[in-house]
Amino acid sequence: MEKILNSTPVRTTNKFKINDIKVDIPDIEFINFDDYKIDGNYNVSIKDKFNSRIGLDYNKYLNIDLDVNKDNINLEFNVNKPLVLNININSSIDSTVNIKYIGNNIAITKINTSLNNSNIKLNVINLLDKEAYNIIEFTNTLVDSNMTTNFIDIGGKVKLSNLLTDLNSSNSTYNLNNLYLGINEDIIDMNYLINLNKPNTNSELVVEGLLNDKSKKSFKGTLDFKEGSSDSIGHENENCILLSDEAKSKSLPMMLCHEESVDGAHGVSTGKIDEEKLFYLMSRGLSKDESIRLILNANINKIVNCIDDVNLQQEIIDIINKEI
Amino acid sequence: MKTNINEYEDKETRNIYNIKSTLESSKKILGLSEEIVRNISKEKNEPDWVLNIRLKALDLYNKMEDPDWGPDISYLNIDELLTYVKPSTGENRSWEDVPDDIKEVFDKLGIPEDEKKNLAGVGAQFDSEMIYHNLTEKMKELGVIYTNFDVAIQEYPELVKEYFTKAVPLTDHKYIALHYALFSGGSFVYIPAGVKLDQPLQSYFRLNEKGAGQFEHTLIIVEDSASLEFIEGCSAPGYNELNLHAGCVELFVKKNAYLRFSTIENWSKNMLNLNTKKCYVEENGTIEWIMGSFGSKVSMLYPLSVLNGRNAKCEFTNISFAGKGQNLDTGFKVIHNAPNTKTVVNAKSISKDGGICLFRSYSWVKNNAKNSKLALSCESLMMDSESRSDTIPVNNIETSDCVFSHEASIGKISERAIFYLMSRGMSEVEAKALIVRGFAEPIAKAFPVEYAVEMNRLINLELEGSIG
């Protein structure tokens, strides 16, 4: 059923067709949560009423409360049946949480992270099959904390992501490293909002993407410097390489500012592979294909290297190289 | 989300713009109805095809909704607005024939002085009608047409019919529909093929009547291999009642032609400036937009360039300065619709005392625009934390064979720079004004020199107002 989803925090004219996305999302009639066995000592339950900013609502969902008490937590979901999932992450220690998706169905996830005086790295890896759907919503509330989300969004034909981060105390930092891949007729829609609410907060968004075939992507990233966010720093950078002349890229890097003393910047670049780089590498004896692959891998590695697990890094690179 | 601003008091710092003519108008029409539209058309003795456009536009206006984005303009009540104000003089070919009271206003604004010194032609509009248009004999001999738009409808109907409403359609948005229902005055410019004007043309629009609207239509055609620089100035005295400016500019730049369109907008702070501008550029043609937005209570202005021919170019240079009570929602749009097309954008904004500067853009590179290049740069300077500075750029890239980059930054004046200048004997006000003038300098350089000087003067006035 076609739905209007993932609305931007500040609207612009509808003629630009970027305020929201219209997309077909299959109806989920019945969810059998028995299909999902969660290994580990977590508080797992089935709850009623799943509401999301992205615009999808369901009657029931699987809820996991992760009270982080060790330095490394791994969750893997084999999404061969529909999954509606809510994960609450509370942490007061430094840790890494890895969440990985494989399978061929539809995964709808909300990940709520509430941090107080802790540092956390959240790695979310979407390695779903080509026909799958990955719909994910991140909500982060940080007090005296640092958080990095490494989000690898390469599987599935529909990839919708929504992120809201509130930096609620001085000296809190939030960084997002995001890699997306569009192939065939994939639809990718990213809608990210970072609220810098207090003085001396920092945020950096780095988004790297590759679009091939007839894939379409919208990137909507907003840095909102609220009144009182003096001496905060917010940077946002999106780099999209178009590998096919039929791929389409839209971007809306918004910056809203109600505070004088901030350092805010955003940059977007879209287009083909840099010809100067290509020329340089080919003049060193590499073939055109080898040169292109080397340049693309350099872009991919910027994000992939943020994940500590070397085996996982290689798995991601192998999948991307196979697809492009 | 709508962006709101509080009510304000016009501090009347823009002294020379605040001259009020006491001359009585010969005709005033309040509100909007089919009868009013028919009366305006009758007053101008227009042919039926023009009346039909007006009536169709009125119908569209009544059916269309306000935009659901941008600044709040819901308080605009068209029934309380003077939609047509005819000055008590016709159009004059000699400055001497212009009534003294109006002449005094334009004299103080420096319009006739400029004409004598360095302009190929001058037009001046007072409220709803042009009161003066003049073109040098040399230009007339070259076949250049520069006249009141209403006169052009009568004297060059075929030419007007070919281009009028073709760049900006009636359906574009609610306030362009209002414009087409009520348009009055404006300039018509035709530059024949191969004619290159070495001096600019300048039209000056003055809205004197309080509670009135101005709906001038400017149509410029620059034929193959011709070139033109056109300067548009706008101002009004400050009143407590709301004024509306809903003008329209349609530009056609043909093969190998060049047009520089400069606008200095310094409307008073009771003005809603809902202007629409669009330019079609053919092969090897160039459009350069130079815009300075200083005045008005609310501005919504996003000139669109459509690069329809191979190697067509667009340069957009803009500065906005929003002070207390101002919400300047400005920007640009470009459509790359042919190979090898290029766009360069350099936009700057300064906001202070609670003013809002919002830069909104739309860049669309179509699939046929191979080897296109776009470089967009926006810089915002905030003078205090009561103010707002937002950037909302939409980029839509449909070909891999293009190079697109957009960068934007927001910042404040470096305290070290102020300290340095103050340690050299400057006051804080002087130091800030110098830094702001430096920030604006790359844009000021693009303006005609008289306007650049005026812009610096406005910056000084605004800053002294904020600190002193």
Q: Give the mean pLDDT of chain A.
A: 92
The number of residues making up chain A comes to 324
Using DSSP, state whether B101 is helix, strand or coil: helix
Contact state of A16 with B411 under an 8 Å Cβ cutoff: no
Give residue B20's pLDDT.
59
A248, B396: Cβ pair inside 8 Å? yes
Span B252-271, average pLDDT = 92
pLDDT (mean) for B154-165: 96
Cα–Cα dist A139/A115, whole Å: 11
Residue-wise pLDDT tens digits, B198-211 = 888 988 888 878 88
Q: How far apart are the first and last CA of chain A?
A: 30
Distance CA B191, CA B223 (A): 6
Q: Which helix (H) or strand (E) holds B360?
A: strand B356-365
**Mind telling me how many Å the CA of B342 is from chain A's nearest CA?**
14
How many angstroms separate the CA of residue A222 from the nearest CA in chain B? 9
User: CA nearest A211 in B: which residue?
Assistant: B400
The answer, for B394 touching chain A at a CB cutoff of 8 Å, is yes
Rounded Cα gap, residues B227 and A225, in angstroms: 44
Q: Per residue in B38-51, pLDDT tens?
A: 999 998 999 999 99
Angle value at C-alpha B357, between B354 and B358, nearest 5 degrees? 135
Q: Does A262 touch chain B (CB under 8 A)?
A: yes
Burial track B419-439 (b if 16+ CB lie within 10 A, e otherwise):
eebeeeeeeeeebbbbbbeeb
The pLDDT score that the predictor gives to residue B365 is 97
- As a dihedral over the C-alpha atoms of residue A301, residue A304, residue A310, residue A313, rounded to 10 degrees, the angle is -100
pLDDT confidence tier of residue B412, bands split at 50, 70 and 90: confident
B409 burial via Cβ count (<10 Å: 0-12, 13-18, 19+): middle
B48 or B123: which leads in pLDDT: B48
| Residue A247, min C-alpha distance to chain B (Å) | 7
| Per-residue confidence band for B109, with pLDDT thresholds at 50, 70 and 90 | low
Distances (CA, A) of A215 to A12, A136, A163, A183, A249: 24, 19, 22, 5, 9
Contact flag A268-B392 (C-beta cutoff 8 Å) = no
Chain A residues close to B389, C-beta within 8 Å: 257
Query: Would an 8 Å CB–CB cutoff place B393 in contact with chain A?
Result: yes
Distance from CA of A123 to the nearest CA of B (A): 28
Q: Is B169 on the interface with A (CB under 8 A)?
A: no
Across chain B, mean pLDDT equals 86
Given a contact cutoff of 8 angstroms between Cβ atoms, the answer to whether B176 and B248 are in contact is yes
* Binary contact (A250, B380; C-beta < 8 A): no
What part of A 117-156 touches B (C-beta under 8 Å)?
none
- Yes or no, beta carbons of A10 and B391 under 8 Å apart: no
pLDDT above 50 for A34: yes
For residue range A68-124, list pLDDT tens digits in order: 777 788 999 999 999 999 999 988 788 899 999 999 999 999 999 999 999 999 999
- pLDDT exceeds cutoff 80 at B236: no
Interacting residues of B127 by C-beta distance below 8 A, sequence separation 6+ = B25, B85, B86, B87, B206, B207, B208, B209, B212, B214
Tokens, residue A322:
């196979």
- CA–CA distance, B165 with B465 (Å, rounded to integer): 42
3-state secondary structure of B18: helix
Mean of the pLDDT values across residues B214-220?
95
More confident residue, B129 or B398: B398
| pLDDT mean over A200-206 | 97
Are the CB atoms for A57 and A80 separated by under 8 Å?
no
* Contacts A–B by Cβ distance under 8 A: 135
List chain B domain ranges.
2-301, 413-468
Going by pLDDT thresholds of 50, 70 and 90, the confidence category of residue B9 is very low
| Rg, C-alpha atoms of chain B | 21
Contact B380/A at CB under 8 A: yes
The residue-averaged pLDDT of B181-200 equals 93
Mean pLDDT of A136-150: 97
**Based on the number of CB atoms within 10 Å of its own CB, is B98 exposed (0-12), middle (13-18) or buried (19 or more)?**
buried
Q: Quick one: angle between helices B174-182 and B48-63, nearest 10?
A: 150
- Say if the Cβ atoms of B397 and A266 lie within 8 Å: no
Q: Indicate yes or no: CB of A265 within 8 angstroms of CB of B407.
A: yes
Residues of B in contact with A230 (CB under 8 A): 385
Q: What is the pLDDT of residues A212-240, one digit of tens each?
A: 999 999 999 999 999 999 999 999 999 99
Q: At what angle do helices B100-109 and B111-118 cross, to 10 degrees?
A: 60
Is it the case that residue B6 has pLDDT exceeding 70? no
In the block, tokens 């190697």 appear at: B311
User: Strand runs (DSSP E) across B302-355, as ranges?
Assistant: 304-307, 313-322, 327-336, 342-351
